């Protein structure tokens, strides 16, 4: 699996930032990066197209990410 470094700036409402900090305090050693990675992986396993939707690239995909990947592989 290829790893890509990505740096982003997140703007969170104060109440959400406080919840995140409380969650992390209850789990010593959990970095914000690890938390975000875990949450993204969990959501993407349920719905792979969710990342594209969250990024605003796709309102509603005709195919799921898995279906698209299968289609692309067949075309090669």
**Is the separation of the CB atoms in 20 and 35 below 8 Å?**
yes
The domain containing residue 49 runs over which residues?
14-75
1 found inside a domain: no
Q: Give Cβ neighbours of residue 51 (< 8 Å, ≥ 6 apart).
A: 40, 43, 44, 65
Provide the domain count of the chain: 1
3 found inside a domain: no
9 found inside a domain: no
7 found inside a domain: no
Q: In this predicted structure, what is the pLDDT of residue 51?
A: 66
How far, in Å, are 47, 61, 62 from residue 37 at the CA level? 15, 23, 26
41 found inside a domain: yes
5 found inside a domain: no
How far, in Å, are 30, 36, 42, 44, 65 from residue 8 at the CA level? 18, 11, 19, 18, 23
Tell me the pLDDT tens digit for each residue of 17-62. 999 999 889 988 999 888 888 888 887 777 766 666 666 665 666 7
**Is the separation of the CB atoms in 30 and 24 below 8 Å?**
yes
Put simply, whether the predicted model's pTM sits higher than 0.95 gets the answer: no
């Amino acid at each position: 699996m290829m790893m890509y470094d990505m740096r982003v700036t997140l703007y969170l409402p104060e109440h959400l930032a406080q919840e995140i900090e409380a969650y992390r305090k209850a789990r010593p050693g959990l970095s914000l990066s690890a938390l975000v990675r875990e949450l993204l992986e969990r959501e993407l396993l349920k719905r792979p197209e969710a990342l594209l939707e969250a990024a605003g690239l796709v309102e509603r995909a005709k195919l799921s990410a898995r279906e698209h990947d299968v289609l692309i592989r067949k075309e090669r």
